[in-house]
Structure 1
Amino acid sequence: MIPQTLGALAGFLALVAPGIVFELRRERRRGRHQETAFREASRVALGSLVFTLTAVLFMTAVQAAGARLFVSPAAWLTRGEAYAREHLTLIVVTVAVELALACALATGWEAVLARRRGEAATVQQRSAWAQALRADRPPGSRAWAHAQLENGTSFYGYVRSYTPSGPLAERELVLEGEALTCEKEEETKVIGEEWRRVVIPAAKITYLRVTYLDAMTGETLPTPHAK
């Protein structure tokens, strides 16, 4: 079912937001698992329902205690559109408070579960390539890589570009530089003056070594410490 009006769309997003918040925070600590779209959507919907109902019950208790801060569901159902037109601002405030409270409940409950399971660390949603070639690269430096291929050939060069994620068979690594070097069968040859770049399929790489050179001087920089 697709929402047909802006209000319906906003209401739909408000209903599913708490479940999405919970799932996004959970993935930061546990990583993403391969599963069907139906199962993932069902878990988001169930989580949103639980957190939304909890928030609504809390707001209803506040309203029952005498604090007239939110809309009256009974009056809204009785008077319909007339009540909505007269209390539009109050309705917007009520929905905003409910959404904020439900998302806060989702965040808090996820933190409680993570502490009970000992999942304090954050799981980075990036590949080892992206970590080594981009995230760990010091400012003002360039990544210098040694790619060892499965046939024994090695290439040395500055990292021009790469495929940061996805299946290994679909990734590629591009090396460049005047010092671009090819090493094969104990013969080492600098090919950077003849060839501008070399494109290497990731599936052919047995291992990849990376260091960081100063972009101005070419000197090797200290390896960054893991955070």
Structure 2
Amino acid sequence: MTPNTWLGIVGFFFFVSPGLYYDRKTALKRMKPPESTFAEISRVALVSTVCSVPAVLLLSGFAAVCAWRRWKILPDPAALLKQGTSYYADNFVRVSVTFLAAAVLAVVSAELLYRWVHRNDKGTITFESAWRAVLQVDAPGGTVPHARISMKDGSVWTGEIAHYSRGTEVADREIVIAPPITRKPKPNQNGPRAEAGKFPDVYERVILKDTEIAYIAVKYEPDRNTSPSTGTAPSHQTSGAHHSPSPAQNTAQAASAGTGNP
């Protein structure tokens, strides 16, 4: 490890990581306006510097106490800068623990700053796709989503949702439906009205692109692959059912009738 390398680690802990943490937390409360890469980097660096000041002050105060009590707990900054790699190698534990403590204090400062700045902001912004929320999260247990998908060309597809893209980018999303599949062709302005019909069973999946979809209507139906458990074995007898006598019983009845008194 060279001095430039460990100085780079220190710079990341103090001037990058707190700002990244704060930026990530802030994204859950407020939508950021479009900005240039330079503006984003500058904001992260500024927030990191502000959050690192309390960490530096706390470490400096602790270093002063250690010097007063003659505790050799923290590394010597002057020796670290002069000797560089050799000092770091000889005092690896002390230097690493000090850097880690500084990073933790800076991130804690970023968390306190976030809570103070957004103390009046209610709710949380999620970046979850509405497709996942409707097709998976909201589906009751033991059910599967069935969709009626209206395309921009006027055609309509219906079927069970088999798969779907979980990303938020519209251009990359797709949805897959499975049997029973029906399709209503797009309207023919010069011909008879198109009626919905069953899609050929030979095709087991149909892929539809989000860019071609106008809207999706969803309902939840019981899963055909899940059979409800009753907890008892099915009964093979029905109350009030007629039971035919066996051939042996018929023979005995006939013999008794032939020897009986008239």
**With structure 1 as the length reference, what TM-score do the two structures score?**
0.79
In structure 1, the residue matched to 2:118 is 114
- Please state how far the C-alpha of 1:60 moved relative to its aligned partner: 0.5
The runs of 5 or more residues in structure 1 that have no matched partner are 220-227
Given that 2:142 and 2:226 are in contact with CA atoms closer than 8 Å, whether structure 1 keeps it comes out as no
What is the distance in 1 between the residues matched to 2:137 and 2:9? 36
1:198 and 2:206 matched: yes
1:144 and 2:167 matched: no
Given that 1:19 and 1:106 are in contact with CA atoms closer than 8 Å, whether structure 2 keeps it comes out as yes
In structure 1, the residue matched to 2:126 is 124
Per-residue CA distance 1:36-91 (angstroms, 9 max, x = gap): 22222221122122212321122102222347443332443455555434432111
In structure 1, the residue matched to 2:166 is 164
In structure 2, the residue matched to 1:210 is 218
- Please state how far the C-alpha of 1:218 moved relative to its aligned partner: 8.1
- Please state how far the C-alpha of 1:9 moved relative to its aligned partner: 5.8
In structure 2, the residue matched to 1:181 is 182
The runs of 5 or more residues in structure 2 that have no matched partner are 186-192, 228-262
What is the distance in 2 between the residues matched to 1:167 and 1:62? 49
What is the distance in 1 between the residues matched to 2:4 and 2:58? 29
Q: Tell me the matched-pair count.
A: 214
What is the distance in 1 between the residues matched to 2:95 and 2:54? 18
What is the distance in 1 between the residues matched to 2:113 and 2:20? 13
Given that 1:29 and 1:122 are in contact with CA atoms closer than 8 Å, whether structure 2 keeps it comes out as yes
- Please state how far the C-alpha of 1:125 moved relative to its aligned partner: 1.0
What is the distance in 2 between the residues matched to 1:63 and 1:139? 58
Sequence identity percentage: 25
Name which of structure 1's ranges 155-164 and 131-140 shifts more when overlaid on structure 2. Answer: 131-140
Given that 1:176 and 1:192 are in contact with CA atoms closer than 8 Å, whether structure 2 keeps it comes out as no
What is the distance in 2 between the residues matched to 1:162 and 1:34? 29
Question: Aligned with 1:145: secondary structure?
Answer: strand
In structure 1, the residue matched to 2:75 is 71
What is the distance in 1 between the residues matched to 2:139 and 2:32? 25
Q: How does 1:24-39 map to 2 (within 5 A)?
A: 24-31=24-31, 33-39=33-39
In structure 2, the residue matched to 1:222 is none
1:17 and 2:17 matched: yes
Distance 1:149 1:104, change over 3 A: same
Name which of structure 1's ranges 16-25 and 185-194 shifts more when overlaid on structure 2. Answer: 185-194
What is the distance in 2 between the residues matched to 1:61 and 1:111? 25
Given that 1:163 and 1:173 are in contact with CA atoms closer than 8 Å, whether structure 2 keeps it comes out as yes
Question: Aligned with 1:159: secondary structure?
Answer: strand
More strand by share: 1
Rg larger in structure: 2
What is the distance in 2 between the residues matched to 1:156 and 1:171? 18
Question: How well do the aligned residues superpose, as a CA RMSD in angstroms?
Answer: 2.9
In structure 2, the residue matched to 1:40 is 40
